[in-house]
């Protein structure tokens, strides 16, 4: 099973009420059947698999290649399980737009209702916040997060599903996380990425970016004045630097449709006064490492990008610019594009959804329709 990221066309509009009501009913039935058959933890793992999640959305009736599949499927799941959360053992927090910002409060509300100690609640809230920061600040791929859900069980296991949009490209990219897969929040927390496009992204989650991350943290902890001085020098001399196409130790990369066009310095619009305040505030908090630095309020994409620039140009610590995205929603292909078919994963996806459909408390007509959509999805 792959946990990771999916990219889909960006759609507008609203799911009609007659369809959403049916999606609620079918998703509830499938969820209850899967949990009864395989358990709560397995259901969370399945939600963290972008392929399986996409299949689920298709089965309950949404377009396979629509960005709305994410928001509508999770909305249907949340509404379908409303009132059953404690009995089922699944709690869905967050949602789209303003609702996404309510995720921490909803986690806290459920945690208190379950009688959890504050530290257990705080751990989930941290997972919600840091996953959003990583996908917006460390993986700078041009997609702005607008949808965020954290789904958790009574044991404290969790899955995050969040989605970003890029209006210029008319695409949406979905990010999946699962507690069991995350060994390090800032280094390759996604075990896989699925996308139908590839972008030139600043990828500070890569192992190859470790030196860049470490130096960034050290600059804040030990030499903020020197960092600000270096940043000022780089921004002031950006035109001269970018004209030197083969400057030693200098990397450049095209990043259209975002604030800057060439990495690392051209058109980098950063307010040095604001950056200075942010950096000195961060130093005062005494972050022990890069993850703690990232988790601080006010540390966003621009601050991280500025630190990365100085770490590369002054100290020669190059970050990774490779988008780790795969190119398919399918389970692979015979020619190995994007990867060879993994039969066990393929068969497990079909098995779990088939059992869920069979055991769901829905009408025979709805079950038949769901099976037909599953077969259609498999053939895509």
Chain mean pLDDT for the chain: 79
Alpha-carbon gap, residue 355 to 246, rounded angstroms: 58
**Which of the listed ranges 22-31, 190-199, 263-272 does the model predict with the highest average pLDDT?**
22-31
Q: Which of 37-41, 128-132, 154-158, 211-215 has the lowest mean pLDDT?
A: 37-41
Residue 259, judged by CB atoms within 10 A of its CB (0-12, 13-18, 19+), counts as middle
| Range 131-139 average pLDDT | 95
Give the other-Cβ count within 10 Å of 235's Cβ.
17
Token look-up 């630097």 returns: 241
Beta bridge partners of 91: 152
| Range 96-103 average pLDDT | 95
- Is residue 104 over pLDDT 90? yes
| Range 353-371 average pLDDT | 60
Q: What is the pLDDT of residues 293-335, one digit of tens each?
A: 999 999 999 999 999 999 998 898 999 988 866 544 443 433 4
Token look-up 């130790």 returns: 249
Domain boundaries, the chain: 5-199+325-379, 207-313
Q: Rg of the Cα trace of the chain?
A: 22
| Range 364-379 average pLDDT | 55
Q: pLDDT higher for 375 or 319?
A: 319
| Range 263-268 average pLDDT | 48
Confidence grade of residue 254 (pLDDT, cut at 50, 70, 90): very low
- Is residue 145 over pLDDT 60? yes
The full DSSP string for 273-333 is: HHHHHHHHHHHHT--SSHHHHHHSTT--HHHHHHHHHHHHHTT--PPB-----B--SSS-B
**CA dihedral defined by 191, 350, 70, 11, rounded to 10 degrees?**
110
- Is residue 68 over pLDDT 90? no
pLDDT of residue 39: 93
State how beta strands 158-166 and 253-254 pair: unpaired
The full DSSP string for 30-78 is: HHHHHHHHH-HHHHHHHHT-HHHHHHHHHHTT--TT-THHHHHHHHHHH
Alpha-carbon gap, residue 105 to 74, rounded angstroms: 18
Q: What is the pLDDT of residues 161-170, one digit of tens each?
A: 998 888 888 8
Alpha-carbon gap, residue 163 to 71, rounded angstroms: 8
Q: Which of 76-80, 190-194, 361-365 has the lowest mean pLDDT?
A: 361-365
CA angle 175, 181, 183 (to 5 degrees): 110
Per cent of the chain over pLDDT 90 is 47
Confidence grade of residue 34 (pLDDT, cut at 50, 70, 90): confident
pLDDT of residue 340: 45
Mutual angle of helices 17-38 and 40-47, in 10-degree steps: 130
**Length of the chain counted residue by residue:** 380
Return the H-helix or E-strand segment holding 337. Answer: none
Question: Whole-model pTM above 0.85?
Answer: no
């Amino acid at each position: 099973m792959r946990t990771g990221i999916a990219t889909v066309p960006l759609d507008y509009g609203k799911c009609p009420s007659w369809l959403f009501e049916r999606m609620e009913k079918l998703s509830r039935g499938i969820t209850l059947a899967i949990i009864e058959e395989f358990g709560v933890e397995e259901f969370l793992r399945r939600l963290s698999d972008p392929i399986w999640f996409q299949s689920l959305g298709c089965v309950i009736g949404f377009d396979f290649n629509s960005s709305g599949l994410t928001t509508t499927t999770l909305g249907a799941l949340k509404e379908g399980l409303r009132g059953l959360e404690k009995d089922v053992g699944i709690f869905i927090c967050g949602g789209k737009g303003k609702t996404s910002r309510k995720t921490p409060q909803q986690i806290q509300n459920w945690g208190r209702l379950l009688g959890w100690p504050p530290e257990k609640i705080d751990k989930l809230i941290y997972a919600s916040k840091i996953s959003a920061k990583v996908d917006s600040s460390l993986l700078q791929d041009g997609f702005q997060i607008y949808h965020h859900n954290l789904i958790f069980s009574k044991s404290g296991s969790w899955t995050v599903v969040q989605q970003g949009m890029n209006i210029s490209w008319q695409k949406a990219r979905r990010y999946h996380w699962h507690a069991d897969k995350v060994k390090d929040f800032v280094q390759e927390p996604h075990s896989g990425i699925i996308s139908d496009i590839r972008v030139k992204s600043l990828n500070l989650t890569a192992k190859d970016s470790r030196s860049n991350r470490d130096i960034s943290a050290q600059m804040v902890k030990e030499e903020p004045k020197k960092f600000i001085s270096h940043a000022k020098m780089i921004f002031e001399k950006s035109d001269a630097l970018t004209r030197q196409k083969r400057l030693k130790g200098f990397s450049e990369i095209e990043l259209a449709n975002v604030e800057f066009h060439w990495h690392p310095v051209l058109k980098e619009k950063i307010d040095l006064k604001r950056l200075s305040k942010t950096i000195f505030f961060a130093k005062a908090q005494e972050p022990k490492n890069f993850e703690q630095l990232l988790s601080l309020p006010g540390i966003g994409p621009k601050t991280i990008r500025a630190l990365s620039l100085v770490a590369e140009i002054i100290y020669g610590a190059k970050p990774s610019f490779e988008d780790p995205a795969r190119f398919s929603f399918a389970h692979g292909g015979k020619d190995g594009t994007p990867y060879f078919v993994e039969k066990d994963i393929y068969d497990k996806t079909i098995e779990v959804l088939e059992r869920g459909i069979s055991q769901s408390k829905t009408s025979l007509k709805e079950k038949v329709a769901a099976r037909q959509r599953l077969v259609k999805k498999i053939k895509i």
